[in-house]
Chain A
Amino acid sequence: MTDILDHKTSPPPELLYRHRLNVRRDLLDLWRNRRLVRTLAERDIRASYKQSFFGFGWAIVTPLLTVLVFTVFFKRIGRIDTGSIPYPLFAYVGLLPWSFFTSSVSSGAGSLIYNSTILNKVYCPREVFPVASILVQAVDTVLASAVLGLLFIYYGTAPKLTTLWVPVLVVVQLALTVGLTLAFSTAVVYVRDLRQVLGGILQMGLFLTPVAWGIRSVPEKWRVAYCAIDPLAAVIDGYRRTVLQGKPPSWGLLVPAAMTSTIVLIAGYYIFRRLEGGIADVA
């Protein structure tokens, strides 16, 4: 018995199992599993609304209440320059993308832990879990944008034609969201404390990002650097300019933001791939 163990104590290095990074293959794998992503998203939507009395209403009530709080506090206390736009509309156009971002990252960060029973037993590309949780939040966001329609009707205005720019902004925002979600979903499995840290950062982000206030409150010379560090500042400002003010996004802010988002996406994918291999060992 011992003789078997003694002369073979470690594998020859040429046999080590390596994870090769292959974006094309991974995307293809994800596409093949699109049905699974859909099933997982459906499952989560159902599981979260099935047991609650109010059902889908929560997707609308929560952001509505937040805007109400913002209106009472920020409008009365701080002086916020919204131009000619009614403050609730101004705030809601910021809040909608922000809550999509923050709930995606926080629920996506927990997605691998939440689904550990599945990923410990059945093989599937692990990306499906964070991607599905982003999809769930996207559905919530679409539901919540019904409130936006009500606000437009109430204030007797309509989205401007420049709203057509929105897909570009969505792409920048998605890159950032997916990158952070991928990185955190795996890192959290190894260091559980990260989830609390992440919650704190997102909480602060609500106030550090121009959600309740406008980018004009940031001094002109700092704005580019600000948007490079917090791409969402440029994205939210972009939504307001295009949807509410009828202006194209300010490219001077959006381009640095897009660069940061791209870097975050690449880094997130890299971290995910590196850490993903050992998840079944620790989860």
Chain B
Amino acid sequence: MSPEAAGLAHGTIRADHIWKRFRSDDRRWSVSTQFNYWKARRRSGDEDFWRWALRDIGVHIEPGEAVGLVGPNGSGKSTLLKILTRVMHPYAGRLAVSGRVGALIEVKAGIHNELSGRENIYLYGSLLGLNRREVASRFDQIIAFSELDDAIDRQVKFYSSGMQMRLGFSVAAHLDPDILLVDEVLAVGDASFQQRCHDRMREVLNQGTTLVLVSHDLAAVEATCNRCMLLVDGVLRGDGQIRDVLGEYREWIEEVAAGRQTIEAIVPLLKAVADDGERGSPRSDGPLEVRLVLDSAEAQKAMLFIGVSEGPATPIFVIRRNMTLAAGELELVCRVRHLPLPRGRFHVWVGIYDSSWRELLPWHPATFFDVIGNRLMKAPRGIVRLSPVQVTADWDESRR
């Protein structure tokens, strides 16, 4: 426990104005670089020598909260987590973390290769401040959860990465931490273990443990957390209700993808509109109409795909149309009678392929629409929703 945390309930995190910087040169620390550094500092200040990893981050987390931390690679998520575990010191800011912190940062958290799985459990226990007896009383639970019965007396260096992760997660999640920090590691486990990890996280949440979960698997974050923080470029861009912040993040991913993509199409898409058919916003369970205008240089057989996503390229559903493109412009209307989507912003992706799957129009986001309606019904906590949706549609084609 940090000395500043006196008086706070166990499981509380109070971080204000956290700043962190790293050296911007990736060279090794040597006497000559240090000499140059002092010289430059005397002349013009030392700004060029540093790059900011975190700027002015404020995080207040109450006991028992489940907070997701999302953001693109290199946005500072792991750095923030390391600062919260007090492994890393911030450059500036005030930090108070109350209670025992169990952290699973990277796969081999606190794991020593030369020792057996059993010895590692005890070592990690004493790192968390537990004595042998306290660890021993949870030992069977840890073994049962990690399913490492046969391997527990084997040296950890002979473990597969999945086994190491299982050991790491089981230990961190079973030694009664007040705060559990989990950093993008669950992906190593197989599907059944991932589900059990989510179950376990739900259990510790019910016991009043604070959870901070870093993951790129937004569906998993949404399943476990009720609050979310979005970190981009070391700046906190969002903090609030999970669906709102994830929506914001998906929006951001969309913007970046659109900015990056230069579409070289054999059959260009001239126009794409998505609405309820009467220039209004579609409603949940109401009609959706997507109107596309294509321009083909020659007549050919083609497959057209329309996908609807929440932002990233993984669609919620995809509709396919086998068609014959005529030379010239072609307007295409796709009508979905009952749109199975909740309130929010969704993107329409379009791609066209010929019969040998050559790209005539690469898969890309063409337009978006906002659905009016109810919020998404909550799934039970810990249930990861992949949203498989069956959608039927009517089609219209007309020459222009």
Contact surface of A with B, Cβ cutoff 8 Å: 1, 4-5, 8-12, 15-17, 19, 25, 32-33, 35-36, 38-40, 43, 46-47, 50-51, 117-124, 190-192, 277-278, 280-282
Contacts and interface: CB of A to CB of B under 8 A. Distances in A.
A5 B233 contact: yes
Interface stretch (B86-94, B260-268, B323-331): B86-94
Nearest to B101: A123
A191 B19 contact: no
B126 A35 contact: yes
Interface string B64-94: 0000000000000000001001111111111
B103 interface: yes
A122 B126 contact: no
- Central interface residue in B52, B91, B127, by most chain A CB within 10 Å: B127
A218 to B, nearest CB: 34
A280 B3 contact: no
Nearest to A282: B29
Given A39-B126, A122-B109, A11 B85 contact: no
B87 A120 contact: yes
A216 to B, nearest CB: 41
A39 B127 CA distance: 9
A152 B86 CA distance: 52
Given A43-B119, A43-B123, A117-B112, A123 B106 contact: no
Contacts of B298: none
A124 B85 CA distance: 10
A124 to B, nearest CB: 6
Contacts of B131: 35
B105 A8 contact: no
Contacts of B115: 43, 46-47
B387 interface: no
Among B19, B55, B92, B126, chain A packs the most CB atoms within 10 A around the CB of B126
Given A1-B232, A17-B95, A123-B87, 10 more contacts: A15-B94, A17-B90, A17-B93, A119-B87, A123-B86, A124-B127, A190-B29, A278-B89, A280-B87, A281-B23
A124 B108 CA distance: 17
Contact of B93 (A10, A11, A282): A11
Contact of B19 (A15, A19, A119, A282): A15
A38 B123 CA distance: 10
A260 B40 CA distance: 36
A192 B29 CA distance: 9
B136 to A, nearest CB: 13
B124 interface: yes
A11 B112 contact: no
B94 A117 contact: no
Given A5-B233, A123-B86, A124-B127, A11 B122 contact: no
Contact of A8 (B3, B56, B127): B56
Contacts of B30: 191
B124 A122 contact: yes
B144 interface: no
B89 A19 contact: yes
B91 A25 contact: no
B158 interface: no
A123 B85 contact: yes
Contact of B82 (A43, A47, A280): A280
A220 to B, nearest CB: 40
B111 interface: yes
Contacts of B22: 281
Contacts of B123: 39-40, 43
B235 interface: yes
B5 to A, nearest CB: 12
B31 interface: yes
Given A8-B55, A11-B19, A282-B29, A122 B103 contact: yes
